């Protein structure tokens, strides 16, 4: 667990060193989730193919609210702080033995959230996150279209959760707790952002190069690999809302989408994608 000491570069370096030592963050499915070996092999193959990717815009239509003001009103009414509710492979500490004690994410919520959808057919152990989520499923019509678009465009076979997060402070560099494939595992849509410069960044665990996610205008969705990158976010007191969808990737849909996105965006990236 990296604390807010030193420069951003210091924190990223410490986070990368942590990731390199973490034997739970394997090139595989989430801890304690059984998946067929043919699927694991296939995702590892994609991991080899896509290892050079740091981050990548997705070649899917923009996902936007019809009425942003309506969303902002709902957000102010419904937002709830997200504190940790269980340890993860990336942060495997129980509440009472976390190295940062009362400053840990068990006590201090780095995000506000509302949850738009959760899969009723999965058990809570498989479905639910490491964070307290606030379920507004089916309460607001404005989210229905958003969820439909995520179902249609994201390369996920079985969705578990769809939610919106707003960071309320600097997010220190870290790995998420779910999938650790070297192929893209993290799919996000930037729904609304008042910042004038990019704030979310990824840093390659093995090679140490850091890149801010600087989106083109024609898409607000993007991805990176939680197995090959740590990620974090700077904070300037401005509002920013990220849609996060969790689940199990559809390997063929991943390949089709990533190949198409590379063709469309490879020359618009802030790093050289050798692929
Ligand atoms: Fe994260």
For 235-249, give the DSSP string: --S--EEEEEEEEEE
pLDDT in tens, 204-239: 999 999 999 999 999 999 999 999 999 999 999 999
Q: In this structure, what is the dihedral angle of CA atoms 53, 57, 61, 63, given to the nearest 10 degrees?
A: 120
Greater pLDDT, 169 or 263: 263
Quote the ligand 1 centre to 80 CA distance (angstroms): 17
Quote the ligand 1 centre to 71 CA distance (angstroms): 23
Is 35 within 8 Å of 248 (Cβ atoms)? yes
Quote the ligand 1 centre to 188 CA distance (angstroms): 11
Tell me, yes or no, whether 275 lies in a domain.
no
Measured between alpha carbons, how far is residue 13 from residues 17, 49, 248 in Å? 6, 26, 30
250-273 average pLDDT score: 97
Tell me, yes or no, whether 3 lies in a domain.
no
DSSP annotation of 96: G
Quote the ligand 1 centre to 95 CA distance (angstroms): 19
Q: How many CA atoms lie within 13 A of 38 on its CB side?
A: 1
Rounded CA-CA distance 52/249 in Å is 19
Model pTM score: 0.91
Buried b (16+ CB within 10 A) or exposed e, 232-264: bbeeeeeebbbbbbbbbbebeebbebbeebbeb
Tell me, yes or no, whether 1 lies in a domain.
no
pLDDT in tens, 1-35: 455 678 999 999 999 999 999 887 778 777 777 88
pLDDT > 70 in the chain, percent: 96
Quote the ligand 1 centre to 176 CA distance (angstroms): 5
Is pLDDT above 80 for 124? Answer: no
Is pLDDT above 70 for 142? Answer: yes
Quote the ligand 1 centre to 251 CA distance (angstroms): 22
CA angle 184, 5, 175 (to 5 degrees): 15
Is pLDDT above 90 for 255? Answer: yes
> Residue 94 has what pLDDT?
81
Tell me, yes or no, whether 17 lies in a domain.
yes
Quote the ligand 1 centre to 146 CA distance (angstroms): 21
Quote the ligand 1 centre to 134 CA distance (angstroms): 18
Quote the ligand 1 centre to 244 CA distance (angstroms): 10
111-130 average pLDDT score: 83
SS3 196: coil
In the chain, what are the helix, strand and coil shares in percent, each to the nearest 5?
Answer: 30, 25, 45
Is pLDDT above 70 for 89? Answer: no
Which residues, in sequence order, are bridge partners of residue 241? 192
Rounded CA-CA distance 63/188 in Å is 10
> Residue 1 has what pLDDT?
47
> Residue 139 has what pLDDT?
85
Full domain range(s) for residue 72: 8-268
CATH of the domain at 54: 2.60.120
Is 104 within 8 Å of 93 (Cβ atoms)? yes
Q: How many domains does the chain have?
A: 1
Quote the ligand 1 centre to 175 CA distance (angstroms): 6
Is 223 within 8 Å of 200 (Cβ atoms)? no
Is pLDDT above 80 for 132? Answer: no
Quote the ligand 1 centre to 242 CA distance (angstroms): 11
Is 147 within 8 Å of 114 (Cβ atoms)? no
Quote the ligand 1 centre to 231 CA distance (angstroms): 6
Greater pLDDT, 168 or 154: 154
> Residue 203 has what pLDDT?
98
Quote the ligand 1 centre to 174 CA distance (angstroms): 6
Residue with tokens 């009425």: 67
Mean pLDDT of the chain: 90
pLDDT in tens, 46-60: 999 999 999 999 999
């Amino acid at each position: 667990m990296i604390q807010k000491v030193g420069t951003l570069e210091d924190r990223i370096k410490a986070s990368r060193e942590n990731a390199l030592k973490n034997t739970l963050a394997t090139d595989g499915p989430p801890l304690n989730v059984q998946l067929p070996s043919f699927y694991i092999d296939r995702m590892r193959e994609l991991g080899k193919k896509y290892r050079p990717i740091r981050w990548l815009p997705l070649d899917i239509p923009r996902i936007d609210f019809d009425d942003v003001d309506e969303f902002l009103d709902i957000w102010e009414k419904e937002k709830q702080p997200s504190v940790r509710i269980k340890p993860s492979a990336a942060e495997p500490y129980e509440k009472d033995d976390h190295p940062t004690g009362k400053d840990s994410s068990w006590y201090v919520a780095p995000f506000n959230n509302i949850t738009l959808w959760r899969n009723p057919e999965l058990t809570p152990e498989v479905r639910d996150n490491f964070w307290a989520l606030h379920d507004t499923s089916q309460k607001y019509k404005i989210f229905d279209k958003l969820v439909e678009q995520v179902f249609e465009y994201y390369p996920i076979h079985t969705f578990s959760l769809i939610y919106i997060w707003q960071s309320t402070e600097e997010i220190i560099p870290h790995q998420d707790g779910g999938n650790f494939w070297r192929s893209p595992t993290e799919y996000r849509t930037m729904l609304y952002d008042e910042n004038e410069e990019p704030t979310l960044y990824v840093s390659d665990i093995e090679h140490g190069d850091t890149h801010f996610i600087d989106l083109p205008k024609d898409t607000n969705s993007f991805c990176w690999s939680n197995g090959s990158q740590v990620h974090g976010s700077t904070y300037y007191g401005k509002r920013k809302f990220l849609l996060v969808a969790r689940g199990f990737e559809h390997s063929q849909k991943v390949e089709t989408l990533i190949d198409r996105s590379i063709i469309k965006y490879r020359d618009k990236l802030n790093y050289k994608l050798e692929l």
